[in-house]
Copies of this chain bind each other. A is one copy, B any other.
């Protein structure tokens, strides 16, 4: 069994619609690649009780949990304190991180606001990275990262070698133009029944030029099953009188 991953997106800016989330898809793709697929995402506000309760529930339910957002220097950045509370440990100055940040900013510019970013839950391991001197951190099975996508990605690259890995999730896709989901629903269900360990999905699309169709996708870890199931998918498109086109539609 592959390890399971979950993501907690912490941020009023996503819930208000101010910001289009870009972290869910990045993590979904990269966690699939290392065989630790994303099983659930929660987007929650910057409210301490909510963060603590959500982290407590998710870290028990999934093999590894990621959080994004709320580790900056301002008053609404409360993620680190909430993680400490969820683990029942104090939030304290991480000496090594403080030394790195003081060296980076200079003593006069290592202000109290910036010192907040050197406060980690006791026992946490900093996630140092190429984009910010203020680190993310790992506490137990929870990996705490920044919300800004470029910094989040640098933190993920840094922590990735230490994550639980499994068999990579791979996929095969065929698509067809002018084909309705309702026409392939029955034969597609047969494919799903043939390969219960694969995930067989159907996704309508509409191209910029107005042409429509569906993409049929099989996902899983067994290359042999993926090839066989993709063959059945190709055949069911042909049987519906349409040309099977390999890969994702360009839309």
Contacts and interface: CB of A to CB of B under 8 A. Distances in A.
Interface of A: 9, 12-21, 24-30, 32, 37-45, 50, 72-76, 111-114, 116, 148, 150, 169, 171, 181-186, 188-189, 192, 199-204, 206, 217, 219
B113 A185 contact: yes
Contacts of A13: 201, 203, 217
Contact of A16 (B32, B189, B206): B32
A12 B186 contact: no
Contacts of A181: 72-74, 113
Nearest to A27: B17
A43 B44 contact: no
Contact of A113 (B32, B183, B206): B183
Contacts of A16: 28-29, 32, 37-38, 169, 171, 199, 219
A75 B189 contact: yes
Contacts of A40: 15, 42-45, 50
Nearest to A215: B18
Contacts of A30: 17
B182 A113 contact: yes
